[in-house]
Amino acid sequence: MNEDVRNSVLVVDDEEFNLRLLTNILHEDYTVYSASSGAEAIRAALEKTPDLILLDVLMPEMSGYEVLDTLKKNEKTRKIPIIFVTGLNSKKDEEKGLAMDAADYISKPFSVGIVMLRVRNQLQLVNQIRTIEKLSLIDQLSGIPNRRNLDNRVALEWDRARREKLPLSLMMIDIDKFKIFNDTYGHQKGDEVLKKVANSFGSSLAFPNYFAARYGGEEFSILLPDTGLNDALPLAERVRSGVERLVIDCNDGTTTKVTVSIGVHSLVPSDEDTIQDAFEKADQALYNAKETGRNRVCGYGAAALQQSAVGGKRKKKADERESAEVDTVKDEQPARPGPQFNSDHLAALKKLDGINSEEAMRRLGGKAELYCDAVFFFSKRIETNCQTMEQFLKAGDLKNFSIAVHSIKSTLVAIGAAALSEKAAKLESSAKGGDVDFCLSQYPELQQKLLSLHGELSAIFHESACKTIKEPGSASALEEIVKSALAALEKFDSDEATQTVKSAVRYDFGEETNTLISNALEALKEFDAETAVSNLTKIKI
C-alpha cells in the first residue's frame, strides 16, 4: 500500500455476515465503506469514489453484474477496479465477470490470506497507475503541472463555468528576454530561473483555486476559476511583482533579476465561445504587454498595468465552492462493534455437532476472535433469513428464493457447517431449475435445522444484561448526536454513525429516548440503516 495514502474499499454484499467479516479483515489497513444492495452500492461509489470495490454477484433486485455494468458506464466510476466476491465458482461464472471487466474473482468461502493479497495487489496497481499519471501530468523541470494537465483542467472548469454562468480568467506569462539570459548565464542557470519563477506563483497567489502550469519553453499559464477581469488583473500584478523580487545568483558571485510580461483574458463562457479562442485572446494581451515595454500586465481590451492594483472581493459562490470541496472523509473506519469474546465461546463452538470450527478458522488465518464475531452476527440473522426465504418460497418467487438460499449456503460454509451447506446447495439448485415442489418439501427441514442452530448459538453468546448508572444527558448533546448520526448515514458511513450513536449509550435521556437510541444502535449493528434512521428521527430534540 502507498505509505502516503490510505486507500479506501467499498464492500458490497446483501448478507450482513459477509459485510462484517470483510470489514473486520480490511479495516486496519484501509478505509472501509459498506453497502447491502446494488442501488446503495452505486450511490456509495458515486459519493465516496473508493479505490476498490468488493462486489457480491447474487443480490436481490439488482445483481452484481448489473451494478458493474452501471458503474462502468459512468465516467466518475468506470475506472474503479471491481473484485467479485461470490459463491458462484464455476469457470463460466468467472469468465462472465472477467469479460465484463471485473479486475479479479474471489470465491466464497474466502480465506483471510486470499482476500488480503488480492486487495493489496489491486490497490498496489491503482497506486502505481496514479503515480504514472501524476508524473505524466507534471513538468519534470519546474515541478508544476504541464501543458497536458492544464488542458484537462481548463476543459473541466470551462464546462462548469458555462453551465453555472460563472467568470473564468486565463493568464499567459512569458519571461522577458529569456534567450538573452540563457546566452549570458548558460542553460543551467536558465533552468534554475524556470524553477524559481514556477515556485513563486504559490507565494504570490493566496487563492486556493488557481491552477498554474508550464505552457512550454519560458511560457507559463495560470487558470483562475470563478474570477472576472477586475479580480484577475490585480492577481496578475502580484505574480509579476513576485517574479521581479526574485534574486538570481550568478556563477561569479553576483546576482541578477528577471521579469515577466503577463496577458489576461476573462469571460463567462457561452456555447459560442471556445477554449482555443480564449487562449488566443490571452496570448494577444501578452503580446500587447511585450509591445508596450515588457515587465507589465495587460488585460485583453484593457490598458497595461505597471503598478499594483487593489483587487476586489472574491465572489461568494467561489468561497462556497471552496468550502464544499473540503474532504471530510475520515482516514480510518473502526471495526464494527460487537460483544467481547473469550476462550469459553470458542470452546463451546468447537463442541457443536455439524460445525468444523478448526477448518473455518484456518480460512480466517487462525483468528479466533474474528471467527467468533462472524458466527455471533450470523446467529443474530438466522431467524430473519428464514423468514425471508419462507416468504419468497410461499410467493413462488424462486429467483429471489435461490439468491437468499445461496447467501445462507455461503455463510454456512464460512462458519464450518458443511452438512447444512450441502442441504442449502441442493435447494438452491432446485430453485434455479424451477422445481418448486422439491423446494416446498425440503425447505422445512433446512429451516428446522437452522432454527435449532440458532438456539444453540444464542445460548453460547447470551450476554446477561448489566445495569449501569448513566449520566444525565443534555438536550444539546442529544441533538448533536442525532444530527451527526443522521449525517453519517446520509454519507453511507455506517461505521461513523454506529460510533456516534454508541457515544449516547452512557447518558440517560429518559426511558423513551434511551429505547430509541438502543434500537438504532442494534439496527446499525445489523447493517439496517433504514430502521436506524426511523428510530433516530423519532427522537424528540
CATH topology match: 8-136 vs 147-311: no
CATH H-level, domain 8-136: superfamily: Response regulator (3.40.50.2300)
User: What φ, ψ does residue 268 adopt, rounded to 5°?
Assistant: -105, 105
Q: What is the largest CA-CA distance in the chain?
A: 97
> Would you kindly state where each structural domain of the chain is located, as residue ranges?
8-136, 147-311, 358-461, 471-538
- Contacts (Cβ under 8 Å, ≥6 apart) of 459: none
Class of domain 147-311: alpha beta
Residue pLDDT tens, the chain, 541 long: 444 568 999 999 988 888 888 988 898 899 999 998 999 999 999 999 999 999 988 888 888 889 999 999 998 898 899 998 887 666 676 677 677 778 888 888 778 888 999 999 999 888 888 887 777 888 889 989 999 999 999 999 999 999 999 999 999 999 999 999 998 999 999 999 999 999 999 888 866 678 999 999 999 999 999 999 988 999 999 999 999 999 999 888 899 999 999 999 999 999 999 999 999 999 999 999 999 999 999 998 654 444 333 333 333 333 333 333 333 333 334 444 445 666 778 888 888 888 888 888 888 878 888 888 888 878 878 888 888 899 999 999 998 898 888 888 888 888 888 889 899 989 988 998 999 999 999 999 999 999 888 888 888 876 433 333 455 567 777 887 888 888 888 777 777 788 778 777 767 788 888 888 888 888 887 777 888 888 888 988 7
- CATH architecture observed for domain 358-461: Up-down Bundle (1.20)
Per-residue pLDDT, 318: 36
Per-residue pLDDT, 89: 65
Task: Pick the catalytic residue from 15, 157, 218, 428.
Answer: 218
Cell of 498: 454506529
Per-residue pLDDT, 316: 36
The answer to whether 72 touches 43, Cβ cutoff 8 Å, is no
Per-residue pLDDT, 471: 52
Intra-chain end-to-end CA distance of the chain, in Å: 44
Coil, strand or helix at 86: strand
Per-residue pLDDT, 319: 38
Per-residue pLDDT, 469: 43
The answer to whether 405 touches 427, Cβ cutoff 8 Å, is yes
Q: Is position 218 annotated as part of the catalytic site?
A: yes
